Amino acid sequence: MSTRTDPPIPPEVSAVFDSYPAAMRARLLEIRGLIYRVALDCDAGPLTETLKWGEPAYLTQATKSGTTIRLGRVKDAAGAAVLFNCNTALVAGFREQFDGVFRFSGKRALLLDIDAPLPEDALAICLARALSYHRDKRKGAA
């Protein structure tokens, strides 16, 4: 995977990361870094980092190649959450391919333990699919 320096975090997004307990914040920032590396590798174009529903969100606004990825928590579930648009079949596909690697919340989130090693390779595949979702759909591959 490509190496790069992650861009600075916008102040309003940084404030949300800062509101999380240290272990949760560290895990979410680790996932943030992976999102940026994967975006570069899958040619998703520049990402827009903003807040959606009060959570850090990553959009392929310039290229419109993918669907939004959000980072946060899911009510009544332990761990960090990587959330996807529930109107896509992304999480259903992730559930089929990565059952036993991730825990899931409905059809919108992957749940990750904050104190276990990050399943980086599997998560990178999921992130790449989200970041190229619309582009692949236009090509008939989604």
The pLDDT, as a whole number, for residue 122 is 97
Q: How confident is the model at residue 142 (pLDDT cuts 50, 70, 90)?
A: very low
**Residue 3 or residue 36, greater confidence:** 36
The pLDDT, as a whole number, for residue 141 is 53
The residue ranges of every structural domain in the chain are 11-137
Exposed, middle or buried: residue 121 (CB in 10 Å: 0-12, 13-18, 19+)? exposed
Distance (Å, whole) CA 35 – CA 40? 9
**80 — phi, psi (to 5°)?**
-85, 150
Distance (Å, whole) CA 82 – CA 32? 10
Residue 82 has pLDDT above 50, yes or no: yes
CATH class (in words) of the domain with range 11-137: alpha beta
Percent of the chain surpassing pLDDT 90: 80
Residue 120 has pLDDT above 60, yes or no: yes
